[in-house]
Amino acid sequence: MRFLEDYSQNWNKPFKKFFEDDFWSSFNGIFDGNDHHQPKANVYESGNELICLIFLPGIKKLDDIRLNINEKTLEVSGTSSLENNGFHLIQKELYEGPFKRIVELPFSVRRDKMDAFYQRGLLTVHLYRLIENNKSNHGVSIRDED
């Protein structure tokens, strides 16, 4: 069983030098048993801020989207639904159903300061760099040896 887990994560390593990353991203979810769609995302950086844009058409209620931040990752998941009442689907190219996307961020972000909004099929998440305060002074007591 361990062999199958290793193979499902590393099956494409021998071919990476011949193909670009975009080629391999089209296979995401095929070998790992993931039945979730991975929406497209752009990440923009300016100084200590990040803007993440995630394309999510078919969101009926904001409760259908879940956002989680964990240090250097943003996880977006939920369910999309495209309906045209009174019409029968005869060709399907647009995805609907459960989705999940994990976006690797270039630096750790603050959990207490973030903003997100959804407009016209686009989720915008505004994040700020976590700047750790390493300047805390730890006093050292000096003993008198006299």
Task: Give, in words, the CATH class of 35-129.
Answer: mainly beta
Q: Does the pLDDT of residue 39 top 70, yes or no? A: yes
Tell me what pLDDT residue 71 has.
86
Q: Does the pLDDT of residue 33 top 60, yes or no? A: no
The answer to whether the CB of 12 falls within 8 A of the CB of 20 is no
Tell me what pLDDT residue 32 has.
46
Q: Does the pLDDT of residue 28 top 90, yes or no? A: no
pTM: 0.65
- Answer with the residue of higher pLDDT: 136 or 104: 104
CB neighbourhood size of 11 (10 A)? 12
The CA angle 35-117-66, to the nearest 5 degrees, is 35
Domain limits, the chain: 1-34, 35-129
Lowest mean pLDDT, pick from 2-6, 34-38, 50-54, 88-92: 2-6
